[in-house]
Structures are given as C-alpha cells and as structure tokens.
C-alpha cells in the first residue's frame, strides 16, 4: 500500500458516506454483491454499521437544528 493510500478504516468511512448519500443500506449492498452478511468479516460489518448510524444521527440533528447548531443540541 502506498503512503498516500487510505487505510481500511478510511475506505470503510468513504463507502459508508457513499451508501448513505445514495440511500443504500449495507445489507442491500452485500446482497447485490452476492454476499451473505453471516460470512462477512464481523469487525468490518460492525464498523460500517457504527459509521452509518453516526452519519444518520448527525444528518437528523442537522435537519432539526441547522448546520451551525446541530452538535450543541
């Protein structure tokens, strides 16, 4: 891996952001790829789920409180 290449965590974050922006849940992605979540790396799936949950919460707060105040409420 080159020094400028993203880490595994950064790649998972980028993928989660893309999936969220496109309104695709992780199970739909795995299904489209022909993969079964029960056979997937549990740590990676857990990490993706946590990132997606965080993005969902932040988005809901931004919608409710605005971009400048979302983290305060």
Q: Which of these, 26, 17, 23, lies nearest to 54 by C-alpha position?
A: 17
pLDDT digits (tens, 9 = 90+) for 44-57: 888 878 887 887 88
Q: Domain for residue 12, yes or no? A: yes
Whole-number percent of the chain with pLDDT over 90: 0
Phi, psi of 2, rounded to the nearest 5 degrees? -75, 165
Q: Domain for residue 41, yes or no? A: yes
* CB neighbour list of residue 61: distance below 8 Å, 6 or more residues apart: 70, 71, 73
Q: Reduced to 3 DSSP states, what percent helix, strand and coil does the chain have, rounded to the nearest 5?
A: 65, 0, 35
Q: How many domains does the chain have?
A: 1
Domain holding 13, by residue range, is 8-65
Q: Domain for residue 3, yes or no? A: no
Q: Domain for residue 26, yes or no? A: yes
Q: Domain for residue 71, yes or no? A: no
d(CA 28, CA 11): 18
Q: Domain for residue 70, yes or no? A: no
Q: Domain for residue 36, yes or no? A: yes
Q: Domain for residue 58, yes or no? A: yes
Q: What is the pTM of this model?
A: 0.54
């Amino acid at each position: 891996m080159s020094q400028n290449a993203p880490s595994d965590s950064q790649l998972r974050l980028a993928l989660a952001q893309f999936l969220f922006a496109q309104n695709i849940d992780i199970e739909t992605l795995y299904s489209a790829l022909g993969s079964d979540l029960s056979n997937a790396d549990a740590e990676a799936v857990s990490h993706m789920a946590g990132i997606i949950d965080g993005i969902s919460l932040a988005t809901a707060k931004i919608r409710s409180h605005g971009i400048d105040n979302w983290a305060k409420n």
